[in-house]
Amino acid sequence: MPRRKKPAGPFRYFKTSPEVIRIAVLMYVRFPLSLRNIEDLLAQHGIDITHETVRFWWNRFGPLFAADIKRQRINRMCGFRHWRWHLDEMFVKVGGETHYLWRAVDHEGEVLESYVSKKRDKTAALKFIRKALKRYGKAETIVTGGLKSYPAAMRELGNLDRREMGRWLNNRAENSHLPFRRRERIMQRFRQTKALQKFTSIHANIQNHFNSERHLVDRQTYKTARAATLAEWQNLAA
């Protein structure tokens, strides 16, 4: 009887197949499901694992998948400069204390960068914008809200002339918060800042990977794009 070939890469020490690990991580991060929901769904397909196993998998492999997706996206878009960025911040409770989640979203609704801070001042805005510019280069236009920390930080960076502000201009960033809010309710908030920073980075990159703008294309185009996206997902961390 031929011996089963052992998985390569980060899966080589795990008895479970990489396909099961990928689907468990995908279900937990992308959809508003709890760990026990995923345990029950996999059990219906004959996969007997505990919810703590799912927790271990997403903590172990989630950052690997997210980093792979981000690296591929940056390589594809490194020469593209006609970006319209949308910057916004949202309130998030961490251990009962209010923190701020800064997010940079491009014109297609994909999250470029996420940053968690305790304050909403110029220092936090400056660190957040510098982090985004370092990874993605300069944007043609940067849309922000009315927070005064944005112009103060952009004036120091020398790109204040690229800033735009309007009542409805930042709806792209506001709408991008909705998937994260749904996940936040299921997870019953966060207890540590580090856990929030980790999850929001993983969640944003996986959402970007499956962002096919379904409302803008016909059914057949969407199915083709979905099949290609799932095929790329199966090759992550291979």
With CA atoms as reference, report the closest residue to 28 among 169, 159, 207: 207
Q: Are residues 92 and 66 in the same domain?
A: no
Q: Give the three-class secondary structure for 116.
A: strand
Question: What's the one-letter identity of residue 197?
Answer: Q
pLDDT of residue 9: 77
CA atoms 134, 150, 177, 225: torsion sign = negative
Residue 85 sits in the same domain as residue 186: yes
- DSSP for 26-76 reads HHHHHSS--HHHHHHHHHTTT----HHHHHHHHHHHHHHHHHHHHHHHHHH
Q: Both 31 and 46 in a single domain?
A: yes
Q: What's the pTM value of the predicted model, to 2 decimals?
A: 0.84
Indicate if 59 and 157 belong to the same structural domain: no
Q: Are residues 96 and 118 in the same domain?
A: yes
**Contact by Cβ (8 Å): 125, 140:** no
Total number of domains constituting the chain? 2
Do 186 and 34 meet the contact criterion of CB atoms below 8 Å apart?
yes
Q: Nearest to residue 107, comparing CAs of 89, 136, 83?
A: 83
- Domain of 46, in residue numbers: 9-76+212-234
pLDDT tens digits for the chain (238 residues)? 455 555 667 888 888 889 999 999 999 998 989 999 999 999 999 999 999 999 999 999 999 999 988 888 877 766 666 678 999 999 999 988 999 999 999 888 889 899 999 999 999 999 999 999 988 888 889 999 889 999 999 999 999 999 999 878 888 888 888 888 888 888 877 888 998 999 999 999 998 888 877 777 888 988 998 898 888 888 886 6
| Residue 205 falls inside a structural domain | no
What was the pLDDT predicted at 78?
62
101 and 60 co-located in one domain: no
pLDDT at res. 144: 94
State residue 5's pLDDT score: 59
Residue 200 forms part of a structural domain: no
Residues 157 and 182 placed together within one structural domain of the fold: yes
Identify whether 207 is part of a domain.
no
Assess whether 54 and 139 both reside in one domain.
no
Residue 139: predicted pLDDT: 85
Does some domain include residue 206?
no
In a domain, 203, yes or no: no
Stretch (H or E) spanning 136? helix 122-136
